[in-house]
Amino acid sequence: MNLIELEGVYKIYKKGEFAIKNLNFNLENNEFIAVMGPSGSGKSTFLNICYGMTKPSAGKVKIYNKNISNFSEEEITIFRRNNLGCIFQDFRLLDYLNVKDNIILPLTFLNKKNGEMKSKLKFLSEFLNIKDILHKNIFEISGGEKQKVAIARALITEPKVLFADEPTGSLDFKSSDDVMKLMKKIQTQMNTTIFMVTHDPYIASFSNRVIFLRDGEIYNEIYKGENNKQFYREILDVLSFLGGNDYEF
């Protein structure tokens, strides 16, 4: 089943520049995809269109078989809040709230009862191994822990799709590796579909499919087979043709 479908999508900015050109795309249930490409290739615009943050200039965007292209700002905000989750490179946590309150914040907007909040918080804090830091302030925890808290906050509403925009961009290698192993666990054990933008080929190798963009169009896509190392090498090979020395490693 396709959770997200793009049909002939364009995004044109005020200067007449194409960010996305005639994009056709399907995201299937329980997929883990990574989107790569040089700076300015349209990666973030692609994610924002699929997440409902950016309206296309033309074409259809369907999420859960609903055409959201013509939703009002209020309608799409409510739809995202109820159905989608997103994490970012800079975490976007609220410093004046502790870890626990950051995680359950989306449920307060949905007017959920305290019992449901506690139950979901208990499950996610144990699943993500962050129960020991629930009462800490945000400035007291590490970057890797902050991203885990951001993941918990994104998952607390039980979205079918988790979007991740450069989720390891602010982390060291060990923390990045820990977060990506956790993302894979979320996909396989929580049956959550993941749409991730990254410039890092190692991070992309955790996905099942990599889509490469160039100048707002799909340049290539590859699927993971049985061999993880081979998949990583294939990603590097495509990147070498895609951007050459201009690619942002």
Give the DSSP H or E segment for 50.
Answer: helix 43-51
Q: How far is it, in rounded angstroms, from Cα 249 to Cα 247? A: 6
Q: Are 128 and 182 in contact (CB under 8 A)?
A: yes
Between strands 209-214 and 217-223, the pairing is: antiparallel
Handedness of CA 67, 41, 187, 129 (dihedral sign): negative
Note down pLDDT in tens along the chain; length 249 residues.
789 999 999 999 877 778 999 999 999 999 999 999 998 899 999 999 999 999 999 999 999 888 988 888 899 998 998 899 999 999 999 999 999 999 999 998 888 889 999 999 999 999 999 999 999 999 999 999 999 999 999 999 999 999 999 999 999 999 999 999 999 999 999 999 999 999 999 999 999 999 999 999 999 999 999 899 999 999 999 998 886 444 443
66-83 pLDDT tens trace? 898 888 889 999 899 889
- CATH superfamily for domain 2-246: P-loop containing nucleotide triphosphate hydrolases (3.40.50.300)
> Alpha helices of 67-225 — where are they, by DSSP H?
73-83, 99-109, 114-127, 143-155, 173-190, 201-204
Per-residue confidence (pLDDT) for residue 246, from 0 to 100: 46
Percent of the chain with pLDDT over 70: 97
11-66 pLDDT tens trace? 998 777 789 999 999 999 999 999 999 988 999 999 999 999 999 999 999 998 88
CA distances from 96 to 39, 93, 101, 138, 176 (A): 34, 9, 10, 8, 26
Q: State residue 36 phi and psi, 5-degree precision.
A: -130, 165
pTM for the structure as a whole = 0.92
Per-residue confidence (pLDDT) for residue 102, from 0 to 100: 96
